[in-house]
Amino acid sequence: MYRICFILFSVSVAFGQQDLRMYDIVNAVSATRIINDVETLANFGTRHTLSDTVSQTRGIGAARRWIKKSFEKISADCGNCLEVFEQKNYFDADGSRLTRGVWINNIVAIQRGTEHPNRYVIMSGDIDSRVSDPNNFTSDSPGANDNATGMAAAIEAARLLSKYSFENSIIYVGLSGEEQGLYGGKGLAQYALDNKWEIIGILNNDMIGNTDGIDGVIDNRSFRIFSEPTPPTETERERKQRRFYGGEVDGISRQLARYVYTTTKTYMPEMNPMLIYRLDRFGRGGHHRPFNDVGFAGIRIMEAHENYNRQHQDIRTENSIAYGDVLSGVNAAYTAKLTAVNAITLASLAWAPAAPKELAVGGVVAPDTQLQWSPSTSENLRGYKVYWRDTTSPTWDNSMFVGKNTQTTLKGIVIDNYIFGVATVGADGHESPVVFPTKVMR
Protein backbone atom coordinates (compact mmCIF):
# COMPACT_ATOMS: atom_id res chain seq x y z
CA MET A 1 0.00 0.00 0.00
CA TYR A 2 2.80 2.39 0.87
CA ARG A 3 4.48 1.51 -2.34
CA ILE A 4 1.41 2.30 -4.43
CA CYS A 5 0.97 5.66 -2.75
CA PHE A 6 4.57 6.51 -3.42
CA ILE A 7 4.26 5.65 -7.09
CA LEU A 8 1.10 7.75 -7.51
CA PHE A 9 2.80 10.70 -5.85
CA SER A 10 5.79 10.43 -8.16
CA VAL A 11 3.58 10.34 -11.22
CA SER A 12 1.65 13.44 -10.20
CA VAL A 13 4.85 15.38 -9.55
CA ALA A 14 6.31 14.24 -12.83
CA PHE A 15 3.37 15.17 -15.02
CA GLY A 16 1.73 18.12 -13.29
CA GLN A 17 -2.04 17.79 -13.64
CA GLN A 18 -2.68 18.59 -9.99
CA ASP A 19 -4.23 22.03 -10.37
CA LEU A 20 -7.98 21.47 -10.20
CA ARG A 21 -8.63 25.07 -11.24
CA MET A 22 -7.69 24.00 -14.76
CA TYR A 23 -10.71 21.70 -14.95
CA ASP A 24 -12.91 24.49 -13.55
CA ILE A 25 -11.73 26.72 -16.39
CA VAL A 26 -12.48 24.05 -19.02
CA ASN A 27 -15.94 23.50 -17.59
CA ALA A 28 -16.77 27.19 -17.31
CA VAL A 29 -16.48 27.92 -21.04
CA SER A 30 -19.93 28.71 -22.42
CA ALA A 31 -20.76 27.73 -26.00
CA THR A 32 -23.92 29.85 -25.73
CA ARG A 33 -22.08 33.03 -24.78
CA ILE A 34 -19.54 32.42 -27.56
CA ILE A 35 -22.10 31.82 -30.31
CA ASN A 36 -24.08 34.87 -29.16
CA ASP A 37 -20.96 36.99 -29.53
CA VAL A 38 -20.18 35.48 -32.93
CA GLU A 39 -23.72 36.38 -34.01
CA THR A 40 -23.39 39.94 -32.72
CA LEU A 41 -20.14 40.38 -34.67
CA ALA A 42 -21.63 38.82 -37.83
CA ASN A 43 -24.58 41.21 -37.56
CA PHE A 44 -22.40 44.27 -38.01
CA GLY A 45 -22.90 43.48 -41.73
CA THR A 46 -19.29 43.93 -42.72
CA ARG A 47 -16.20 44.41 -40.59
CA HIS A 48 -13.96 45.10 -43.55
CA THR A 49 -10.94 47.20 -42.59
CA LEU A 50 -11.98 49.98 -44.99
CA SER A 51 -15.68 49.86 -44.05
CA ASP A 52 -17.78 52.49 -42.27
CA THR A 53 -16.42 53.64 -38.90
CA VAL A 54 -19.21 56.09 -38.01
CA SER A 55 -22.39 54.00 -38.06
CA GLN A 56 -23.54 52.51 -34.74
CA THR A 57 -24.84 49.36 -36.40
CA ARG A 58 -22.73 48.52 -39.44
CA GLY A 59 -19.02 48.43 -40.22
CA ILE A 60 -15.75 47.96 -38.40
CA GLY A 61 -16.18 51.05 -36.23
CA ALA A 62 -19.37 49.73 -34.64
CA ALA A 63 -17.74 46.29 -34.24
CA ARG A 64 -14.65 47.55 -32.46
CA ARG A 65 -16.67 49.80 -30.16
CA TRP A 66 -18.77 46.78 -29.19
CA ILE A 67 -15.63 44.69 -28.54
CA LYS A 68 -14.18 47.47 -26.36
CA LYS A 69 -17.46 47.69 -24.42
CA SER A 70 -17.47 43.91 -23.96
CA PHE A 71 -13.99 43.99 -22.38
CA GLU A 72 -15.00 47.01 -20.25
CA LYS A 73 -18.04 45.16 -18.95
CA ILE A 74 -15.87 42.16 -18.01
CA SER A 75 -13.51 44.55 -16.26
CA ALA A 76 -16.35 46.17 -14.33
CA ASP A 77 -17.32 42.70 -13.11
CA CYS A 78 -13.82 41.99 -11.73
CA GLY A 79 -13.13 45.26 -9.93
CA ASN A 80 -11.51 46.89 -12.98
CA CYS A 81 -9.00 44.04 -13.41
CA LEU A 82 -8.59 44.76 -17.13
CA GLU A 83 -6.84 47.73 -18.72
CA VAL A 84 -8.84 48.23 -21.91
CA PHE A 85 -7.57 50.52 -24.65
CA GLU A 86 -7.36 51.08 -28.37
CA GLN A 87 -3.89 50.62 -29.86
CA LYS A 88 -3.83 52.21 -33.31
CA ASN A 89 -1.48 52.99 -36.16
CA TYR A 90 -2.05 54.87 -39.39
CA PHE A 91 -1.04 52.98 -42.51
CA ASP A 92 -0.78 54.63 -45.93
CA ALA A 93 -2.30 53.14 -49.08
CA ASP A 94 -0.13 50.22 -50.17
CA GLY A 95 -1.17 49.91 -53.81
CA SER A 96 -2.75 46.56 -53.11
CA ARG A 97 -5.30 45.79 -50.38
CA LEU A 98 -5.10 49.17 -48.65
CA THR A 99 -6.64 51.26 -51.40
CA ARG A 100 -6.41 54.31 -49.16
CA GLY A 101 -4.64 55.31 -45.97
CA VAL A 102 -6.49 54.09 -42.90
CA TRP A 103 -6.27 53.86 -39.12
CA ILE A 104 -5.86 50.27 -37.99
CA ASN A 105 -7.30 50.00 -34.50
CA ASN A 106 -6.70 47.02 -32.24
CA ILE A 107 -8.68 46.55 -29.03
CA VAL A 108 -6.42 45.47 -26.16
CA ALA A 109 -7.39 44.22 -22.69
CA ILE A 110 -4.55 43.63 -20.21
CA GLN A 111 -5.01 41.59 -17.04
CA ARG A 112 -1.97 42.71 -15.07
CA GLY A 113 0.23 40.06 -13.47
CA THR A 114 0.84 40.33 -9.73
CA GLU A 115 4.57 39.49 -9.81
CA HIS A 116 5.67 40.19 -13.36
CA PRO A 117 3.45 42.95 -14.78
CA ASN A 118 5.65 43.39 -17.86
CA ARG A 119 5.73 39.70 -18.80
CA TYR A 120 2.86 38.79 -21.12
CA VAL A 121 1.07 35.87 -22.64
CA ILE A 122 -1.26 36.98 -25.43
CA MET A 123 -4.41 35.57 -26.99
CA SER A 124 -5.60 37.15 -30.22
CA GLY A 125 -8.57 37.02 -32.55
CA ASP A 126 -9.35 39.33 -35.48
CA ILE A 127 -11.93 42.07 -35.81
CA ASP A 128 -12.02 42.41 -39.61
CA SER A 129 -13.69 40.34 -42.35
CA ARG A 130 -13.78 40.13 -46.13
CA VAL A 131 -15.69 38.64 -49.11
CA SER A 132 -14.50 37.31 -52.51
CA ASP A 133 -12.90 40.60 -53.59
CA PRO A 134 -10.50 41.53 -50.79
CA ASN A 135 -11.04 45.23 -51.53
CA ASN A 136 -14.85 45.14 -51.42
CA PHE A 137 -15.68 47.00 -48.20
CA THR A 138 -19.44 47.41 -48.63
CA SER A 139 -20.98 43.97 -49.35
CA ASP A 140 -22.27 41.81 -46.52
CA SER A 141 -19.28 40.04 -44.99
CA PRO A 142 -20.40 38.34 -41.78
CA GLY A 143 -17.03 36.63 -41.19
CA ALA A 144 -18.72 34.35 -38.67
CA ASN A 145 -15.95 31.76 -38.61
CA ASP A 146 -13.22 34.00 -40.09
CA ASN A 147 -12.73 35.41 -37.62
CA ALA A 148 -15.58 36.24 -35.26
CA THR A 149 -14.88 32.86 -33.63
CA GLY A 150 -11.35 33.86 -32.64
CA MET A 151 -12.59 37.23 -31.40
CA ALA A 152 -15.46 35.72 -29.39
CA ALA A 153 -13.05 33.17 -27.91
CA ALA A 154 -10.73 35.94 -26.68
CA ILE A 155 -13.67 37.72 -25.04
CA GLU A 156 -14.85 34.48 -23.39
CA ALA A 157 -11.31 33.69 -22.15
CA ALA A 158 -11.21 37.16 -20.57
CA ARG A 159 -14.54 36.48 -18.84
CA LEU A 160 -13.24 33.24 -17.32
CA LEU A 161 -9.67 34.14 -16.43
CA SER A 162 -10.55 37.53 -14.96
CA LYS A 163 -11.91 35.55 -12.00
CA TYR A 164 -8.34 34.45 -11.12
CA SER A 165 -5.13 36.26 -10.42
CA PHE A 166 -1.84 35.39 -12.15
CA GLU A 167 1.82 36.15 -11.61
CA ASN A 168 2.29 37.05 -15.29
CA SER A 169 0.09 39.40 -17.33
CA ILE A 170 -2.46 38.14 -19.85
CA ILE A 171 -3.50 40.15 -22.89
CA TYR A 172 -6.74 39.50 -24.77
CA VAL A 173 -6.72 41.33 -28.08
CA GLY A 174 -8.80 41.90 -31.18
CA LEU A 175 -6.52 42.71 -34.11
CA SER A 176 -7.64 44.63 -37.22
CA GLY A 177 -6.43 44.72 -40.80
CA GLU A 178 -5.63 41.01 -40.96
CA GLU A 179 -7.17 40.42 -44.38
CA GLN A 180 -5.54 43.55 -45.85
CA GLY A 181 -1.99 42.48 -44.94
CA LEU A 182 -1.60 41.63 -41.22
CA TYR A 183 -1.51 45.34 -40.35
CA GLY A 184 -2.94 45.17 -36.83
CA GLY A 185 -0.40 42.55 -35.79
CA LYS A 186 2.41 44.66 -37.24
CA GLY A 187 1.18 47.64 -35.22
CA LEU A 188 0.88 45.74 -31.94
CA ALA A 189 4.20 43.89 -32.38
CA GLN A 190 5.92 47.27 -32.84
CA TYR A 191 4.04 48.64 -29.81
CA ALA A 192 5.31 45.64 -27.79
CA LEU A 193 8.89 46.36 -28.87
CA ASP A 194 8.56 50.09 -28.13
CA ASN A 195 7.21 49.34 -24.65
CA LYS A 196 9.79 46.59 -24.00
CA TRP A 197 7.18 43.94 -23.36
CA GLU A 198 8.61 40.59 -22.37
CA ILE A 199 6.41 38.22 -24.37
CA ILE A 200 6.10 34.57 -23.37
CA GLY A 201 4.10 33.90 -26.50
CA ILE A 202 1.10 34.79 -28.59
CA LEU A 203 -1.75 32.36 -29.25
CA ASN A 204 -3.33 33.57 -32.45
CA ASN A 205 -6.78 32.15 -33.09
CA ASP A 206 -8.03 32.34 -36.64
CA MET A 207 -11.01 30.22 -37.69
CA ILE A 208 -11.74 27.94 -34.77
CA GLY A 209 -15.38 27.06 -35.48
CA ASN A 210 -15.67 24.85 -38.56
CA THR A 211 -16.10 21.10 -38.09
CA ASP A 212 -17.54 20.21 -41.51
CA GLY A 213 -14.50 20.07 -43.78
CA ILE A 214 -14.27 20.59 -47.54
CA ASP A 215 -12.42 17.25 -47.47
CA GLY A 216 -15.65 15.56 -46.33
CA VAL A 217 -14.36 14.90 -42.83
CA ILE A 218 -16.54 15.96 -39.91
CA ASP A 219 -14.44 16.23 -36.76
CA ASN A 220 -15.11 18.12 -33.54
CA ARG A 221 -12.04 17.00 -31.60
CA SER A 222 -9.04 17.73 -33.81
CA PHE A 223 -7.39 21.10 -34.21
CA ARG A 224 -4.13 22.40 -35.63
CA ILE A 225 -1.29 24.24 -33.98
CA PHE A 226 0.88 25.95 -36.60
CA SER A 227 4.40 27.01 -35.65
CA GLU A 228 7.47 28.04 -37.61
CA PRO A 229 10.61 25.95 -37.04
CA THR A 230 13.09 28.68 -36.05
CA PRO A 231 12.83 32.46 -35.70
CA PRO A 232 13.48 34.55 -38.85
CA THR A 233 15.48 36.94 -36.64
CA GLU A 234 18.24 34.43 -35.89
CA THR A 235 21.80 35.49 -36.69
CA GLU A 236 24.01 33.90 -39.31
CA ARG A 237 26.11 32.50 -36.47
CA GLU A 238 23.06 30.84 -34.89
CA ARG A 239 22.11 29.39 -38.26
CA LYS A 240 25.59 27.93 -38.68
CA GLN A 241 25.63 26.53 -35.14
CA ARG A 242 22.41 24.69 -35.82
CA ARG A 243 24.16 22.66 -38.49
CA PHE A 244 26.45 21.13 -35.88
CA TYR A 245 24.39 21.17 -32.68
CA GLY A 246 20.84 20.76 -34.01
CA GLY A 247 17.70 22.75 -33.31
CA GLU A 248 16.04 22.71 -36.76
CA VAL A 249 12.67 21.99 -35.14
CA ASP A 250 13.27 23.63 -31.76
CA GLY A 251 12.67 27.36 -32.16
CA ILE A 252 10.73 29.31 -29.52
CA SER A 253 7.44 29.16 -31.43
CA ARG A 254 7.75 25.39 -31.79
CA GLN A 255 8.25 25.08 -28.02
CA LEU A 256 5.11 27.16 -27.50
CA ALA A 257 3.22 24.85 -29.88
CA ARG A 258 4.41 21.82 -27.87
CA TYR A 259 3.24 23.59 -24.71
CA VAL A 260 -0.30 23.94 -26.11
CA TYR A 261 -0.18 20.29 -27.17
CA THR A 262 0.89 19.05 -23.72
CA THR A 263 -1.50 21.27 -21.77
CA THR A 264 -4.37 20.05 -23.95
CA LYS A 265 -3.39 16.39 -23.58
CA THR A 266 -3.09 16.85 -19.80
CA TYR A 267 -6.38 18.61 -19.06
CA MET A 268 -8.54 17.83 -22.14
CA PRO A 269 -7.37 14.33 -23.09
CA GLU A 270 -10.36 13.78 -25.37
CA MET A 271 -8.99 16.38 -27.79
CA ASN A 272 -6.68 15.68 -30.69
CA PRO A 273 -4.15 18.51 -31.10
CA MET A 274 -2.12 18.33 -34.32
CA LEU A 275 1.34 19.88 -34.31
CA ILE A 276 1.82 21.27 -37.81
CA TYR A 277 5.45 21.99 -38.57
CA ARG A 278 4.99 25.14 -40.63
CA LEU A 279 4.39 28.82 -40.04
CA ASP A 280 0.85 28.65 -41.38
CA ARG A 281 -1.19 26.91 -44.05
CA PHE A 282 0.67 26.42 -47.36
CA GLY A 283 1.37 29.91 -48.72
CA ARG A 284 -1.25 31.56 -46.51
CA GLY A 285 -0.89 33.87 -43.56
CA GLY A 286 -2.14 34.84 -40.12
CA HIS A 287 -1.65 37.38 -37.39
CA HIS A 288 0.98 35.47 -35.40
CA ARG A 289 3.47 36.15 -38.21
CA PRO A 290 4.13 39.86 -37.50
CA PHE A 291 5.06 38.81 -33.95
CA ASN A 292 7.35 36.06 -35.28
CA ASP A 293 8.87 38.59 -37.69
CA VAL A 294 10.29 40.62 -34.79
CA GLY A 295 11.43 37.60 -32.78
CA PHE A 296 8.49 36.78 -30.48
CA ALA A 297 7.16 33.24 -29.99
CA GLY A 298 3.77 32.89 -31.64
CA ILE A 299 1.54 30.18 -33.03
CA ARG A 300 -1.76 29.81 -34.85
CA ILE A 301 -4.56 27.72 -33.35
CA MET A 302 -7.09 26.61 -35.91
CA GLU A 303 -9.74 24.07 -36.88
CA ALA A 304 -8.39 20.88 -38.47
CA HIS A 305 -10.82 20.76 -41.40
CA GLU A 306 -11.49 23.99 -43.29
CA ASN A 307 -14.39 24.65 -45.62
CA TYR A 308 -13.32 26.99 -48.41
CA ASN A 309 -16.94 27.55 -49.53
CA ARG A 310 -17.37 29.42 -46.27
CA GLN A 311 -14.23 31.56 -46.36
CA HIS A 312 -13.71 34.88 -48.12
CA GLN A 313 -16.85 34.31 -50.22
CA ASP A 314 -19.67 36.54 -51.44
CA ILE A 315 -22.88 35.20 -49.97
CA ARG A 316 -24.60 33.38 -52.82
CA THR A 317 -25.82 30.02 -54.09
CA GLU A 318 -24.14 28.60 -57.19
CA ASN A 319 -24.80 25.13 -58.64
CA SER A 320 -26.78 24.34 -55.46
CA ILE A 321 -23.74 25.12 -53.30
CA ALA A 322 -24.23 27.77 -50.60
CA TYR A 323 -21.25 30.09 -50.29
CA GLY A 324 -20.50 32.55 -47.50
CA ASP A 325 -19.05 32.75 -44.01
CA VAL A 326 -22.38 32.73 -42.20
CA LEU A 327 -23.37 31.82 -38.65
CA SER A 328 -24.72 28.38 -39.57
CA GLY A 329 -21.17 27.29 -40.50
CA VAL A 330 -19.96 27.76 -36.92
CA ASN A 331 -20.12 24.85 -34.49
CA ALA A 332 -20.60 26.45 -31.07
CA ALA A 333 -19.53 23.45 -28.99
CA TYR A 334 -16.31 23.02 -30.99
CA THR A 335 -15.49 26.72 -30.74
CA ALA A 336 -16.00 26.40 -26.97
CA LYS A 337 -13.52 23.50 -26.83
CA LEU A 338 -10.84 25.47 -28.65
CA THR A 339 -11.57 28.44 -26.38
CA ALA A 340 -10.91 26.12 -23.43
CA VAL A 341 -7.61 25.01 -25.03
CA ASN A 342 -6.58 28.67 -25.13
CA ALA A 343 -7.81 29.48 -21.63
CA ILE A 344 -5.94 26.63 -19.92
CA THR A 345 -2.78 27.41 -21.89
CA LEU A 346 -2.98 31.10 -20.92
CA ALA A 347 -3.64 30.19 -17.28
CA SER A 348 -0.80 27.68 -17.09
CA LEU A 349 1.70 30.08 -18.69
CA ALA A 350 0.50 32.99 -16.55
CA TRP A 351 0.84 30.90 -13.36
CA ALA A 352 4.28 29.54 -14.32
CA PRO A 353 7.70 30.99 -13.47
CA ALA A 354 9.79 32.33 -16.33
CA ALA A 355 11.75 29.80 -18.36
CA PRO A 356 15.52 29.61 -17.70
CA LYS A 357 17.23 32.41 -19.62
CA GLU A 358 20.18 30.32 -20.67
CA LEU A 359 20.79 26.61 -21.02
CA ALA A 360 24.11 24.91 -21.77
CA VAL A 361 24.50 21.28 -22.78
CA GLY A 362 27.62 19.14 -22.82
CA GLY A 363 28.77 15.53 -23.16
CA VAL A 364 30.71 15.22 -26.41
CA VAL A 365 32.47 11.82 -26.56
CA ALA A 366 31.20 10.93 -23.08
CA PRO A 367 28.68 8.39 -21.75
CA ASP A 368 26.59 11.04 -19.95
CA THR A 369 24.91 14.30 -20.88
CA GLN A 370 25.31 17.40 -18.74
CA LEU A 371 22.92 20.34 -18.53
CA GLN A 372 23.39 23.63 -16.76
CA TRP A 373 21.04 26.62 -16.71
CA SER A 374 20.59 30.09 -15.27
CA PRO A 375 18.61 30.17 -11.98
CA SER A 376 15.06 31.47 -11.79
CA THR A 377 14.39 34.38 -9.45
CA SER A 378 10.69 33.53 -9.05
CA GLU A 379 9.38 33.15 -5.49
CA ASN A 380 6.89 30.69 -6.88
CA LEU A 381 9.59 28.19 -7.93
CA ARG A 382 9.21 24.50 -7.11
CA GLY A 383 12.18 23.52 -9.25
CA TYR A 384 13.25 22.52 -12.74
CA LYS A 385 12.39 19.73 -15.07
CA VAL A 386 14.86 18.33 -17.57
CA TYR A 387 13.38 17.01 -20.81
CA TRP A 388 14.77 14.88 -23.59
CA ARG A 389 13.40 13.08 -26.61
CA ASP A 390 14.44 11.09 -29.63
CA THR A 391 15.71 13.32 -32.45
CA THR A 392 12.72 12.29 -34.58
CA SER A 393 10.03 12.80 -31.94
CA PRO A 394 7.76 15.86 -32.11
CA THR A 395 7.06 15.90 -28.35
CA TRP A 396 9.11 16.03 -25.13
CA ASP A 397 8.63 12.39 -24.21
CA ASN A 398 11.09 11.95 -21.32
CA SER A 399 11.49 14.12 -18.27
CA MET A 400 13.11 14.23 -14.86
CA PHE A 401 12.30 16.65 -12.05
CA VAL A 402 15.57 17.79 -10.44
CA GLY A 403 14.34 20.10 -7.66
CA LYS A 404 16.09 23.45 -7.34
CA ASN A 405 19.41 22.28 -8.76
CA THR A 406 20.58 24.33 -11.72
CA GLN A 407 22.64 21.56 -13.25
CA THR A 408 22.30 17.85 -13.72
CA THR A 409 23.96 14.87 -15.32
CA LEU A 410 21.85 12.39 -17.25
CA LYS A 411 23.71 9.15 -16.63
CA GLY A 412 24.06 6.83 -19.58
CA ILE A 413 22.25 9.22 -21.92
CA VAL A 414 24.52 9.84 -24.90
CA ILE A 415 24.21 13.40 -26.20
CA ASP A 416 24.30 12.35 -29.86
CA ASN A 417 21.05 10.42 -29.71
CA TYR A 418 18.61 12.86 -28.10
CA ILE A 419 17.40 16.44 -28.03
CA PHE A 420 17.43 18.18 -24.63
CA GLY A 421 15.63 21.02 -22.88
CA VAL A 422 14.75 22.43 -19.46
CA ALA A 423 11.59 24.03 -18.03
CA THR A 424 10.90 25.74 -14.70
CA VAL A 425 8.11 24.36 -12.51
CA GLY A 426 6.00 26.60 -10.26
CA ALA A 427 4.52 25.81 -6.86
CA ASP A 428 1.19 24.74 -8.41
CA GLY A 429 2.90 22.50 -10.96
CA HIS A 430 2.62 24.89 -13.88
CA GLU A 431 5.64 24.88 -16.15
CA SER A 432 7.34 27.37 -18.41
CA PRO A 433 7.81 26.46 -22.05
CA VAL A 434 10.83 24.20 -22.55
CA VAL A 435 14.06 26.04 -23.32
CA PHE A 436 16.43 24.65 -25.94
CA PRO A 437 20.19 24.92 -25.25
CA THR A 438 21.96 27.84 -26.83
CA LYS A 439 25.40 27.08 -25.37
CA VAL A 440 27.73 24.12 -25.51
CA MET A 441 29.74 23.14 -22.42
CA ARG A 442 33.37 22.38 -23.10
- Residues near Zn ion (CB under 5 A) are 146
Please report how close the Cβ of residue 108 comes to Zn ion at its closest, in angstroms.
21
Please report how close the Cβ of residue 185 comes to Zn ion at its closest, in angstroms.
13
Please report how close the Cβ of residue 1 comes to Zn ion at its closest, in angstroms.
58
Please report how close the Cβ of residue 366 comes to Zn ion at its closest, in angstroms.
51
Please report how close the Cβ of residue 292 comes to Zn ion at its closest, in angstroms.
18
What share of residues in the chain are helix, strand, coil (percent, to 5)? 35, 25, 40
CB-count burial class (<10 Å; 0-12, 13-18, 19+) for 216? exposed
Q: Do 280 and 290 contact (CB within 8 A), yes or no?
A: no
Using CB positions, name the residue nearest to Zn ion: 146
Q: What is the DSSP letter of 263?
A: H
CB of 300 or CB of 430, closer to Zn ion: 300
CB of 298 or CB of 353, closer to Zn ion: 298
Alpha helices in 209-331 (DSSP H): 236-245, 252-267, 289-293
Please report how close the Cβ of residue 146 comes to Zn ion at its closest, in angstroms.
4
Q: Which of 118, 59, 60, 22 is nearest to 344 (CA)?
A: 22
Please report how close the Cβ of residue 312 comes to Zn ion at its closest, in angstroms.
6
Please report how close the Cβ of residue 333 comes to Zn ion at its closest, in angstroms.
22
Q: Which of 48, 83, 82 is nearest to 62 (CA)?
A: 48
Alpha helices in 86-219 (DSSP H): 149-161, 178-181, 183-194
Alpha helices in 60-146 (DSSP H): 60-76
CB of 146 or CB of 280, closer to Zn ion: 146
CB of 127 or CB of 189, closer to Zn ion: 127
Greatest pairwise CA separation for the chain in angstroms: 74
Residues in the chain: 442
Helix axes 149-161, 60-76, angle to 10 degrees: 10
CB of 97 or CB of 112, closer to Zn ion: 97
Please report how close the Cβ of residue 273 comes to Zn ion at its closest, in angstroms.
22
CB of 61 or CB of 125, closer to Zn ion: 125
CB of 145 or CB of 372, closer to Zn ion: 145
> How far apart, in whole angstroms, are the C-alpha atoms of residue 351 and residue 429?
9
| 3-class secondary structure, 78 | coil
CB of 146 or CB of 431, closer to Zn ion: 146
Amino acid at 281: R
CB of 167 or CB of 179, closer to Zn ion: 179
Element counts in the chain: helices (H) and strands (E): 11, 17
> How far apart, in whole angstroms, are the C-alpha atoms of residue 355 and residue 132?
44
Please report how close the Cβ of residue 54 comes to Zn ion at its closest, in angstroms.
25
- Angle ∠(143,149,152) on CA atoms, nearest 5: 115
> How far apart, in whole angstroms, are the C-alpha atoms of residue 128 and residue 62?
12
Q: Do 82 and 164 contact (CB within 8 A), yes or no?
A: no
Q: Which helix (H) or strand (E) holds 348?
A: helix 332-351
Please report how close the Cβ of residue 311 comes to Zn ion at its closest, in angstroms.
6
CB of 146 or CB of 250, closer to Zn ion: 146
Count CA within 13 A, CB hemisphere, residue 359.
21
233-257 residues labelled b (16+ CB within 10 A) or e (exposed): eeeeeeeebbeeebbebbbbbbbbb
CB of 123 or CB of 354, closer to Zn ion: 123
